[in-house]
């Protein structure tokens, strides 16, 4: 009898929580229909600034949306001004990378600013390129990563779909889309203080996300990056889509004035259950791999096929 009563109480609580969440989301602004358009024209294109490094494999905005960072086939990472006009720094990171994301240094207790993925794991580096630790995952086909600042977690695009990364390296399914570029877009409130639901961008498609990072609507298709995105960065002055051979630069999209560019502190009350154990994790998996360090004479790794 007690077990039956317990199940009834749990079901009632769950139903109530779902109802409250649904109502809250119904009151929020739908960014897909409010701030997106299907066609965009780049203001300029930038050819691969380091062709001897191979193809571009990932892109992210950094430093509160004032700069961007990209990774190349041979394991080099370079940072640039927001419009890609000036290279600021370069360093060697993970060999054969697939994606990059800026993360808070507190994530997993590792002290890393850059998270760089390969096909099966995510490595963490500080701003100077020093290796800080690694997180093995249950995937062997990671295509890109993004930091979900609302839920303090990394979302992972793989060959089989897009997932939320759990503290133990396991993956929780979000959606079936499997792009080579993925970006979580944390939106705040409009000019009247009305909350705007966040978005998950997969390649050139956008999905509406609820307060727990779950996908509730989409896709909304665009032509950003001409559909060949390898990485996505939104800065305070531009929108940048990376493709294998260069970058498409766009004027800020309509939702960007409402973006939260910071990754330093998750929003109060939005820490995901998926990330609760991350800060307390004491043992970090490390792989016996060599990091390809930046040098002008570095031999180019074999280009990946897509």
Which residue positions in the chain have pLDDT lower than 70? 1-24, 26, 265-306
What's the confidence (pLDDT) of residue 306? 36
Q: Residue 110's pLDDT is what?
A: 95
pLDDT score of 25: 74
Residues 15-71: pLDDT tens digits?
A: 444 444 445 576 899 999 999 999 999 999 999 999 999 999 999 999 999 999 999
The pTM of the full predicted model, rounded to 2 decimals, is 0.80
Q: What is the pLDDT of residue 151?
A: 94
Q: Which tens digit of pLDDT belongs to each residue from 172-201?
A: 999 999 999 999 999 999 999 999 999 999
Give whole-number Cα distances, 203 to 9, 62, 183, 282, 302, in Å: 42, 19, 8, 35, 24
pLDDT at 290: 34
Q: Is residue 231 within 8 Å of residue 239, measured between CB atoms?
A: no
The span from the CA of 256 to the CA of 177, in Å, is 23
| pLDDT score for 62 | 97
pLDDT of residue 27: 86
Query: What's the chain's average pLDDT?
Result: 84
At the second CATH level, the architecture of 29-275 is: 6 Propeller (2.120)
């Amino acid at each position: 009898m007690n077990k039956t009563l317990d199940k009834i109480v749990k079901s009632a609580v769950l139903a109530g929580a779902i109802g409250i969440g649904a109502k809250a989301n119904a009151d929020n602004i739908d960014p897909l229909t409010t701030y997106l358009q299907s066609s965009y024209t780049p203001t300029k294109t930038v050819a691969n600034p380091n062709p001897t490094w191979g193809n571009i494999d990932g892109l992210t905005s950094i430093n509160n949306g004032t700069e961007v960072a990209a990774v190349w086939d041979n394991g080099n990472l370079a940072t640039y001004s927001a419009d890609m006009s000036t290279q600021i720094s370069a360093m060697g990171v993970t060999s054969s990378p697939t994606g990059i994301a800026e993360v808070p240094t507190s994530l997993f207790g590792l002290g890393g600013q850059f998270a760089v993925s390969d096909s099966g794991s995510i490595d963490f580096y500080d701003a100077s390129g020093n290796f800080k630790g690694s997180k093995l995952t249950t995937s062997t086909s990671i295509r890109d990563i993004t930091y979900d600042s609302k839920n303090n977690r990394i979302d992972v695009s793989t060959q089989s779909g897009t997932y939320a990364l759990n503290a133990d390296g396991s993956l929780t399914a979000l959606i079936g889309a499997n792009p080579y570029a993925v970006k979580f877009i944390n939106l705040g409130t409009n000019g009247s203080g009305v909350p705007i639901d966040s978005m998950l961008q997969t390649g050139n498609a956008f999905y509406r996300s609820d307060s727990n990072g779950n996908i509730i609507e989409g896709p909304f298709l665009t032509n950003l990056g001409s559909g060949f995105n390898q990485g996505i960065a939104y800065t305070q002055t531009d929108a940048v889509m990376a493709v294998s051979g260069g970058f498409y630069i766009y004027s800020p999209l309509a939702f960007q004035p409402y973006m939260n560019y910071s990754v330093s502190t998750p929003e109060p009350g939005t820490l995901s259950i998926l990330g609760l154990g991350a800060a307390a994790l004491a043992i970090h998996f490390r792989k016996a791999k060599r990091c390809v360090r930046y040098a002008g004479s570095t031999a180019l790794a074999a280009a990946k096929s897509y």
